[in-house]
């Protein structure tokens, strides 16, 4: 099939590369000239496993890049809109990028096409897209608007796309649904998985991929409701973690006890410094706003957001209680990306914590395996960068773990201890066992678990740890 994907960011680029791997002819469109030039030159603008392989497999053959939206639409049977939907100041989704694409493509809708919302958008957006295209003169029989929300996670985006838990397709008639069924047929029939050159199947995936066909509005709601639910799960366990800290319980044990209930499940019960990234914060806000507009006061979501913000403040209080004053202190930071496996720092809780530390006069040296370049572009002064976790720790009063990169969970603890001025680790991602840290000579603070100290002395009593020679 001939397919156009408009917007070649985290979602569009992965979707385009994966559609090409499924055997479709794909034109990836973007209005960012420098991004297009980089893609055409063989560069891979984002850090994502398997993406370089897919791009080099299909670039210039089944996958081409273009700045000409109308031409791409004219040549395609399905057009996936994957442009950004950032939050407005009022917390609603800014749909101006989606609208401008809808307006611009009208002239190219000359024979039957399906315009697909891949971007995360509020319910009713498909109706607006239809209205805009009609207002600009398209024949009502020449197109349908469908919703095909994307559930990929950055860091595992390619495998999430090719081995999804489910594919949700929202269409209001069979003609339109059949086009999308055809697009995803290699995944839903399982033929893709039989290929010897298919991307390897990750654990926990079910093949062939299930497809759920709903009305367009239901599909739009499924995406917002899914993200809001997941954010709620994170805030819920963070609130439980705070209770654990108050009463001296261990949140890991509590999570195990909760998560083994098959109705709840163990995933997404990871206490930490709160959710971030380009999706959850904006999608929870947008869902809250759209609920209000629909006449439902979804106050549960306010609380989800409040707990999330509070979680960062609690972490900063932990840093202060470990180090006392922050002005002039040297702190090493492990992790800047909003989660492990990506270079994306949008709404990263790690960045927000680093900014707060810098504001309090702390000297911060950070290391992240993939996100330092993006951080450098965004933060003009104050933050220093290291070439490794150990370098970030060198001479520091404490090391803070802010992103759950796998390599941060496997550090050489003796070496880390030697590099630090004081052996203090404040772990916002619970990557280590407190007892193991104490046995390796660290005073160790984490989330929802009692602080640990090498001598077994309660950490609160150890604020004045003697300076190492
Ligand atoms: N990032 C994720 O993990 C993720 C997951 C699921 C859904 N989503 C949703 O997908 C959408 C895109 O997210 P993203 O992270 O890929 O955003 P992004 O900012 O990385 O990419 C958007 C791209 O669209 C391009 N663009 C903007 N206006 C354009 C236009 N008029 N014509 C052509 N190109 C245009 C931009 O240049 C950019 O390259 C959002 O709605 C987001 O909520 C994101």
Number of domains in the chain: 3
Q: Do 403 and 330 belong together in one domain?
A: yes
Reading phi first (left if > 0) and then psi (alpha if -120 to 50, else beta), residue 402 is in: alpha
Q: Do 157 and 256 belong together in one domain?
A: no
Domain coverage including residue 105? 2-214
Tokens at residue 117, please? Answer: 């919302």
Q: What is the pLDDT of residue 204?
A: 86
Most ligand 1 atoms within 8 A of CB, residue of 4, 8, 9 to mutate = 9
Instruction: Assess if residue 469 is contained within a domain.
Output: no
Q: Do 79 and 208 belong together in one domain?
A: yes
Which residue lies with its CA nearest to atom 21 of ligand 1? 9
Q: What is the mean pLDDT of residues 140-167?
A: 97
DSSP, collapsed to helix, strand or coil, labels residue 150 as coil
Q: Do 21 and 137 belong together in one domain?
A: yes
Domain endpoint, select from 287, 307, 327: 307
Domain endpoint, select from 284, 307, 330: 307
Tokens at residue 29, please? Answer: 């469109």
User: What percentage of residues in the chain have a pLDDT greater than 90?
Assistant: 94
Per-residue pLDDT tens over the stretch 305-316: 999 999 999 999
Q: What is the pLDDT of residue 321?
A: 94
Q: What is the pLDDT of residue 456?
A: 74
Per-residue pLDDT tens over the stretch 230-275: 999 999 999 999 999 999 999 999 999 999 999 999 999 999 999 9
Q: Do 183 and 230 belong together in one domain?
A: no
pTM of structure: 0.94
Instruction: Assess if residue 467 is contained within a domain.
Output: no
Q: Do 57 and 177 belong together in one domain?
A: yes
Q: What is the pLDDT of residue 380?
A: 67
Q: What is the pLDDT of residue 178?
A: 98
Rounded to the nearest angstrom, the distance between the alpha carbon of 161 and the centre of ligand 1 is: 15
Q: Do 41 and 169 belong together in one domain?
A: yes
Per-residue pLDDT tens over the stretch 319-351: 999 999 999 999 999 999 999 999 999 999 999
Q: What is the mean pLDDT of residues 437-462?
A: 85
12-30 residues labelled b (16+ CB within 10 A) or e (exposed): bbbbbbbbbbbebbbbbbb
Q: Do 188 and 245 belong together in one domain?
A: no
Q: Do 320 and 448 belong together in one domain?
A: yes
Q: Do 75 and 133 belong together in one domain?
A: yes
Q: Is the predicted pLDDT of residue 468 greater than 50, yes or no?
A: no
Per-residue pLDDT tens over the stretch 84-118: 999 999 999 999 999 999 999 998 998 999 999 99
DSSP, collapsed to helix, strand or coil, labels residue 234 as helix
Q: Is the predicted pLDDT of residue 461 greater than 70, yes or no?
A: no
Q: Is the predicted pLDDT of residue 467 greater than 60, yes or no?
A: no
Q: What is the pLDDT of residue 209?
A: 96
Specify the pairing of strand 211-214 against strand 330-334: unpaired
Instruction: Assess if residue 468 is contained within a domain.
Output: no
Domain endpoint, select from 187, 214, 241: 214
Q: Tell me the residue ranges of DSSP E strands in 218-351.
A: 330-334
Q: What is the pLDDT of residue 253?
A: 97
Q: Do 288 and 424 belong together in one domain?
A: no
Rounded to the nearest angstrom, the distance between the alpha carbon of 81 and the centre of ligand 1 is: 8
Query: Residue 119, CB half-sphere, CA atoms under 13 Å: how many?
Result: 30
Nearest to 333 by CA among 363, 302, 374: 363
Q: Do 231 and 378 belong together in one domain?
A: no
């Amino acid at each position: 099939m001939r397919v156009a994907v408009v917007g070649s960011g985290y979602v569009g680029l992965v979707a385009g590369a994966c559609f090409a791997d499924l055997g479709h002819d794909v034109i990836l469109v973007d209005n960012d000239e420098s991004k297009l030039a980089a893609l055409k030159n063989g560069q891979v603008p984002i850090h994502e496993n398997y993406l370089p392989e897919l791009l080099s497999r299909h670039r210039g053959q089944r996958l081409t890049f273009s700045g000409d939206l109308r031409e791409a639409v004219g040549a395609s049977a399905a057009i996936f809109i994957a442009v950004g939907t950032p939050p407005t100041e009022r917390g609603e989704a800014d749909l101006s990028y989606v609208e401008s694409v809808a307006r611009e493509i009208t002239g190219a809708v000359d024979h039957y096409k399906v315009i697909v919302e891949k971007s995360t958008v509020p319910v009713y957006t498909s109706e607006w897209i239809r209205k805009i295209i009609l207002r600009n003169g398209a024949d009502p029989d020449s197109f349908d608007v469908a919703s095909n929300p994307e559930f990929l996670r950055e860091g595992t985006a390619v495998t999430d796309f090719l081995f999804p838990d489910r594919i949700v397709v929202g269409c209001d008639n069979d003609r339109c649904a059949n086009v999308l069924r055809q697009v995803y047929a290699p995944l839903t029939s399982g033929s893709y998985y039989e290929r010897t050159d298919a991307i390897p199947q990750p654990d926990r995936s079910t093949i062939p991929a299930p497809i759920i066909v709903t009305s367009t509005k239901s599909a739009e709601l499924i995406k917002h409701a899914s993200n809001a639910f997941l954010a709620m799960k994170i805030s819920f366990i963070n609130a439980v973690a705070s209770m654990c800290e108050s009463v001296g319980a261990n949140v890991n044990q509590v999570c195990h006890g909760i998560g083994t209930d098959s109705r709840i499940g163990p995933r997404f019960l990871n206490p930490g410094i709160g959710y971030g990234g380009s999706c959850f914060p904006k999608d929870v806000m947008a869902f809250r706003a759209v609920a209000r507009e629909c006449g439902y006061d979804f106050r549960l979501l306010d609380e989800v957001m409040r707990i999330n913000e509070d979680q960062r403040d609690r972490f900063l209080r932990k840093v202060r209680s470990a180090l006392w004053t922050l002005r002039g202190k040297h702190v090493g930071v492990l992790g800047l990306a909003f989660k492990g496996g990506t270079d994306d720092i949008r709404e990263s809780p790690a960045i927000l914590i680093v900014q707060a530390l810098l504001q309090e006069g702390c000297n911060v040296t950070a290391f992240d395996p993939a996100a330092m370049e993006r951080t450098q572009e965004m933060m003009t002064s104050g933050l220093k960068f290291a070439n490794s976790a150990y370098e970030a720790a060198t001479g520091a009063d404490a090391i803070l773990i802010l992103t759950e990169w796998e390599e941060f969970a496997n550090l050489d603890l003796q070496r880390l201890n030697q590099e630090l001025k004081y052996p203090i680790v404040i772990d916002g991602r619970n990557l280590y066992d407190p007892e193991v840290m104490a046995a390796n000579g660290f005073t160790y603070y984490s989330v929802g678990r009692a602080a640990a100290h090498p001598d077994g002395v309660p950490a609160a009593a150890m604020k004045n740890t003697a300076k190492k020679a």
